[in-house]
A and B are shown apart, each in its own frame.
Chain A
Amino acid sequence: MSQLDPTSRQSVKAPNFVIQVFTHRLFWPVVGLILLWVACGIALPGSDTAPGFWSITMMDGHLFGQIIDILRAAAPILLLALGMCLVIATGGIDLSVGAVMALSSSVSLSYLISSPTRETLPTVLIAIGLGLLTGLVVGLFNGTMVARLKIQPFIATLIIMVAGRGVAFAFTGGRIESVVSPPFKFLGSGFVLSLPTQVVIVTIVAAIVMISVRMSALGVLVESIGVNRQASFLAGVPASSILMLVYGLCGLLAGLAGMIYVAPTMATNANAIGLMLELDAILCVVLGGTALSGGKFYLSGTVVGALLVATLPKAVIYFGFPMQITPLFKGLVILIICIAQSQTLRDQFARRSLRRSVALAEGSPS
């Protein structure tokens, strides 16, 4: 319940604006992202033959560049992380999203493969609808387990994490099949307003989620469940319905992420799609300053976290390291950011600045 602990905030209210910026939840993630991007810029300065990290070129009305690539890679992760953020805010966790991605994309592509009119828009829309429906159903299943049956979220969603990929496998018959369908592929490699389609979709979805959560009471209700489900229940918060909504939304977004993830290759692969992405999504949320214990959540921080997580594997390549070092690099970055924003260090920082301000006040009594 670190984010509920008021001491760190209150004790540093006195000194000045700089301290407030330093102790802001978003400070370390944003600094991490900026440092990483600056380092990437230095590692990849660009030349006449190869564009640099920061260069963005316009080709046939489409934007290309490393940053655009990172945005593209961040799209599915961010979709997962948005739903995950709300789930974590209720004090829960959703381990099933990676398996849901595999499941929804398998359902959707299996329908496309079986359909003779797979290149027409209506069929593709039905396929996408089926995929989204799959995600929603799984999400509602998780919600029922957590809200109605009161099963711990970790274990409730672990069931789908274990079984979901098996179901997806049964759906595709264990084969890796690809299908040609230009409208579907547009999801993954098309451009809208000279930006990649998935980036536009995710931006719109993120905006809708943020606005609807923060402009209404929903966000506060979600937080109240995460802070104290009993108290919020006694205060009249319809905890069960909100939990259903949140888990359903998480599943739905995971379904959408599955479509977007699979669209560039259009190949069913129940084994590899979304593998371990649930951990990446949780990571985005935590790097964004939301505590796993529930309560306050930061969707904007989650966006920063998703960009950070999407940049890491690419940064390894820019720096000229072998690809396989990526997890090590990732682990170190998590370690550093988590320790930097840990309560222990924040308290120490706050105490030191408080001591300094006290010393200052004693030195020059007003």
Chain B
Amino acid sequence: MKWDWSAVGDFMPKFWDGLLVTLQALVLGSLIAFALGLVWALAQRSPLKAVRWPVSIVTEFIRNTPLLVQLFFLYYVLPEWGITLSAMTTGVIGLGLHYSTYTAEVYRAGIDGVPVGQWEAAKALSLPRARTWTAVILPQAIRRVVPALGNYVVAMLKDSPMIMIIGVLEMLGEARQFGSQTFQMAEPVTIVGIAFILIAYPASLLLRALERRLVR
């Protein structure tokens, strides 16, 4: 068993760079997932079959196929179609798109959970359709689903190392690069693993507390 503390010291500056990239990817990916998920959820409630069905098929397909392959697809196929994006942008879009199909289910459950009386009250007040959604249904639906959305942010955090494979230097990418340059792989990978636990565990405790407060 060989553990070299000097390698730990050498890796730390790179680790902080990687952490920053991971957090950026996480924040941007979450924003895409939250926004796009709501779009999918609303589209699946559309009165038009021509909207509902394609959206259902596409989201099922994205949700049930590996994010890793989707990242390869975006990274290699989009340039063939003439769309060239940076690795980071591709990674963020991949994470956001993949998780939007999960958040769509969360929103759907939240919307279904709003009591029928709320819809009827909105109708009785003859609120227009848009206002029924923005002022009555969504505020109640989203409040309930905040903890579940948070769980998917944690899940996305745990999937974020995958964007390493298209060349984004997030935490694990930095660790792999450091390992290939110095032949010291044990220390950086272990540090990154511990960092994930140190981030994910308090986050899940926080979400449990939030769940107790918001979901009644």
Do A and B associate with each other? no
Binding site for A on B (CB under 8 A): none
Binding site for B on A (CB under 8 A): none
